[in-house]
Amino acid sequence: MTIQNTIESYIKKGFLKIYQIEIPSVEFQATRKEFKGDLTVVIFPLLRYIKGNPTEIGEKLGNYLLENVAEVINFNVINGFLNLVIEDGYFLKLFNLMNQNPTFGFESPKESDKAMMVEYSSPNTNKPLHLGHVRNNLLGFAVAEIIKASGKKVYKTQIINDRGIHICKSMLAWKLFGNGETPASTGLKGDKLVGNYYVKFDQEYKKQIAQFVEKGISEDEAKKTAPILLEAQEMLRKWENEDEETVSLWKKMNQWVYKGFEVTYKNLGVDFDALYYESDTYLLGKDVVAQGIEKGVFYKKEDGSVWCDLTDEGLDEKIVLRSDGTAVYITQDIGTAIQRVNDLKDVGGMVYTVGNEQDYHFQVLFLILKKLGFDWAKNLFHLSYGMVDLPSGKMKSREGTVVDADDLMVEMTETAKNISEELGKLDGYSEEEKNELHKIIGLGALKYFILKVDPKKRILFDPESSVDFQGNTGPFIQYTYARIQSIIRKATFDYSLEINELELHEKEREIIKLMSLFPETIQQAADNYSPAIIANYTYDLVKEFNSFYQNVSILGEENHQKKIIRVQISKKVANIIKQAFSLLGIQVPERM
RNA sequence: GGCCCCAUAGUUCAAUUGGAUAGAAUAUCAGAUUUCGGCUCUGACGGUUGAAGGUUCGAAUCCUUCUGGGGUCACCA
């Protein structure tokens, strides 16, 4: 039972006693720093039940609590806010409780609960991953970890877009201009090699269009009839007819790409539990369309195309099957969603990490699945995020104006190296260990930079100015962690004793209060699908610790009990930093 | 044009989901520390929360209109 619950029940009792009125709930908030107190009761909502002066009501309730709740040792009322001062013993108890629990804040999944499936990354296999994918991957991974920590089973998944005209484009360009190049022969990462040919296709295509236009053909016409495009379309037909040569080229080049992606994912620190390939799923959903017609959710037009009428919901009509009977994008998505629940029976909801340009698509998709009557359809969430812009504008793969994911990670590691060498705290580290450390810091900076902002907002990323290492940044937090580790290494005495009675320093109280919020912060982050909430909490905790560190002496403290609790607090703060950062996919170093 | 998202110190972000005097970082300036790591800490400066109305005891947050930016409105994915 938390103090909040206790106080809530006593306020209800007190209110009943003083005013003879029952109240359903009490609103709490943490007391603002500028006022005295630890917990605040907001009086205003109570005015609904009893007319009166909020200050007077606050005084009466405060007195009641003072008499009846042992932990409440003082109170004050300001502007309708009842601030309660809680005794130190309570905070000590609170601390000891969380200190005994090495996974404090993390809920283990309940067997009875349904699992969530989190989809992210979902790349095309015709080009390497870029900065936009990086945001997608970091967000998806972090949200998956957060949901897991909040007490739900999670499956991480991606759907690999391995077929379609865009894939054929790079295949064709390789066939025409590749001279049999392979990743081995060029020393290039497979995804890079294939990506180069995707760019090559586009260059050739543009050249042909220009030539046509010169001959007096309209641009629209030229775009449709450029020979290289027609050839790519022919290739797609061959692929769909399972032409042996085409399929084997497709397999070969996709393997190159997968090998390359594997490296990028590993460096990025993300992973998946289940993979789906569009080449396996692109025919799914057609049978569902038939069932949907029977149920009256869909209807057929004269030309044979099938539609869903969403005008009652304020949306448009949406096509779900072409007149020639083939599937469209949304048909696949309907089919794939159902397939996943069939594959993994305990899935009770899904999170789709996809950019906000597809907001409308997912609105429609979720609505259709609901109309089809799937009970899990109410637990679908589009984790929509804003674009990552460069100072030069939008990134375009076809034009090669992208920030490559691999290059970016290398650059960040380089920057970390330069900064860390100035500091020189790494005596005794081997080159290998140093490189590993620079990677941890560089990636920490990048990941934190991206995850600390609300997913919905667009990010401007300037590769020139790079990412900060000071202030509200990953390395700053990592640094604090490393410094705590340094203290712990030096604390060679036995500090395992549990302290139950001690007068706490103001900074100690503050930091215990903040640590105790970790569990609800995780829940809040999970409810909002927002890693930013974890990032900002961690930063607050670190700031509070630095202030504590500045104000009290830890190892130099003469009072043995105080010394013990300060080491314990430091260690627990480090532990929470590590846990919180693990949710963001960021590692913490022992030294830096 | 219809619909959706965004707009907060010079800059990058917060604001306990409707609560107290809108907070941090950064940059600039001034200071602290003989000490557990000088990537630390304490101050100062910086705001008509894009604009105007409305609801409320109380609005950055909710509603309406407008302005600016982005997205989306394919038998593409």
Using CA atoms, how far residue A12 sits from A46, A49, A81, A322, A524, in Å, is 11, 12, 17, 62, 26
Who's near A143: CB < 8 A, 6+ residues apart?
Answer: A118, A120, A351, A353, A383, A529, A530, A531
- Region(s) of chain A under CATH 3.30.1360.70: 3-86
Report pLDDT digits (tens) over A25-79. Answer: 899 998 988 888 999 999 999 988 888 889 999 999 999 999 999 999 999 998 8
Q: What is the pLDDT of residue A391?
A: 73
Residues 378-417 of A with CB under 7 A from strand B: 386-387, 394
Give me the CA A384–C1' B5 separation in Å, rounded.
10
Length of chain A equals 592
Residues 261-280 of A with CB under 7 A from strand B: 278
Lowest mean pLDDT among A296-300, A311-315, A362-366: A311-315
How large is the average pLDDT for residues A404-419?
88
Q: For residue A461, which nucleotide's C1' is closest to its Cα? A: B12
Report pLDDT digits (tens) over A207-216. Answer: 999 999 999 8
Q: Residue A1 pLDDT > 70, yes or no?
A: no
Q: What is the pLDDT of residue A394?
A: 67
Residue lying closest to nucleotide B20, CA to C1': A79
Q: What is the pLDDT of residue A228?
A: 94
Lowest mean pLDDT among A100-114, A250-264, A454-468: A454-468
Mean pLDDT score of chain A: 91
Using CA atoms, how far residue A54 sits from A217, A227, A587, in Å, is 79, 79, 48
Give me the CA A32–C1' B47 separation in Å, rounded.
21
CA distance A62 to A255: 69
Q: What is the pLDDT of residue A111?
A: 81
Whether the CB of A4 is less than 7 Å away from nucleic strand B comes out as no
Q: What is the pLDDT of residue A399?
A: 63
- Region(s) of chain A under CATH 1.10.730.10: 410-583
If one compares A351 and A3, the residue with the highest pLDDT of the two is A351
Say if residues A105 and A97 touch (Cβ distance below 8 Å): no
Give me the CA A550–C1' B33 separation in Å, rounded.
9
Amino acid at A334: I
Nucleotides on chain B within 7 angstroms of protein Cβ:
3-7, 12-17, 19-21, 24-27, 35-37, 39-42, 57-58, 70-77
Phi, psi of A507 (to 5 degrees): -65, -35
Report pLDDT digits (tens) over A111-154. Answer: 888 999 999 999 999 999 999 999 999 999 999 999 999 999 99
Whether the CB of A31 is less than 7 Å away from nucleic strand B comes out as yes
If one compares A169 and A427, the residue with the highest pLDDT of the two is A169
Q: Would you list the DSSP string of A129-156?
A: -BHHHHHHHHHHHHHHHHHHHTT--EEE
Q: For residue A77, which nucleotide's C1' is closest to its Cα? A: B20
Using CA atoms, how far residue A262 sits from A289, A499, A510, in Å, is 36, 49, 44
Looking from the CA of A566 toward its CB, the CA atoms found within 13 Å total 26
User: What's the longest Cα–Cα distance across chain A?
Assistant: 95
Q: What is the pLDDT of residue A466?
A: 62
Q: Residue A464 pLDDT > 70, yes or no?
A: no
Q: Residue A156 pLDDT > 90, yes or no?
A: yes
Give me the CA A566–C1' B33 separation in Å, rounded.
20
Q: For residue A469, which nucleotide's C1' is closest to its Cα? A: B39
Radius of gyration of chain A (CA): 30
The CATH superfamily holding the domain A3-86 is Arginyl tRNA synthetase N-terminal domain (3.30.1360.70)
CA distance A202 to A190: 19
How large is the average pLDDT for residues A484-512?
91
H, E, C per residue of A501-526: CCCCCHHHHHHHHHHHCHHHHHHHHH
Q: What is the CATH number of domain A410-583?
A: 1.10.730.10
Give me the CA A571–C1' B70 separation in Å, rounded.
45
CA distance A236 to A243: 10
pLDDT above 70: percentage of residues in chain A: 96
Lowest mean pLDDT among A326-330, A387-391, A395-399, A584-588: A395-399
Strand duo A154-160 + A306-309: pairing = unpaired
Task: For residue A392, give the 3-state DSSP assignment.
Answer: coil
Say if residues A23 and A46 touch (Cβ distance below 8 Å): yes
Say what the ipTM of the complex is. 0.93
* Both structure tokens of A231: 């050839």
If one compares A536 and A111, the residue with the highest pLDDT of the two is A536
Nearest to A170 by CA among A134, A130, A128, A136: A128
Give me the CA A304–C1' B24 separation in Å, rounded.
60
Give me the CA A132–C1' B51 separation in Å, rounded.
34
Task: For residue A530, give the 3-state DSSP assignment.
Answer: coil
